Structure 1
Amino acid sequence: MNDRILPGPCHLCGGSRGTRISGTWVCADCEWRYGDVPDPDLPLPRIDVVYYLRFDRRVKIGTSMRPRQRLASIRHDELLAFERGDRTIERERHRQFAALREGGEWFTFSAELEAHTSLLRSAGDPWSLHARWLSEALRA
């Protein structure tokens, strides 16, 4: 795929990079067809994510169906990754990293946790992934 600049921002994610597929522009970030506008009268699909936020040498593992809103309310230095999933996946991760728990949903940012978030991050930028999941749900 040869990414180029879209004629304008994507109506779904605001991305600026795109690809021409069969003569149609498609956003490179979320794969939404350029020019299509989500119906403003319909609610957006629910996309649950498990998020990994770093603050100093600690990581918060939480979940949200509205990550932009949620992350805006939590003090953090960096969004490390998103993983698609709900409280079930969040509880699995809390058990997986239980030895690193500092309290509540906060964990020591160890090599093990860094490797996990790096693996998740290898799938793409967290916000681009979220936009792609949203686009897929809208197209379904």
Structure 2
Amino acid sequence: MHPDEKAKIHAQANGDAAEEKRLTQAACYLVQCWAEFPPNSAAYQQNYVSVVEAAGLEKEISWVQSQQAQGFFNYTVPQQFVDYVKANTIAPAKDALKVATGASSVAGGIGICAGSGAGCIVGAAPAGLELRRVPRCDWA
């Protein structure tokens, strides 16, 4: 959501924190605030508004829809494309890069260790540290 849209929600809520939260959820439902995050990530879950939740936000959704005619809260096709790329291409690629660099550190550490018994003292540290850091693949 854009800062000007957040300001509109804040003004409409008129100091009522619960109403501001409901209006924000309604707006997020319509503009899919969660779409820019990898599915099942913490940020995705935090921003996701289900159909069941939206059913209880009819009044707020109507207000957001009335603002769309004025140019606010519109989720355009180019924005949808950018969000899709961020969530489904960039985030998984970052995790794949972490796995690849971690695997090379493990392989290097094991290679040092295989060279000699004394090398295990040096090689075990990078191998062990990298194995500990292997990321969970939440996007899988």
Structures share fold, TM-score greater than 0.5 = no
Relative to its length, the structure with more helix (as a share) is 2
User: TM-score, normalised to structure 2's length?
Assistant: 0.25
Higher Cα Rg: structure 1 or 2? 2
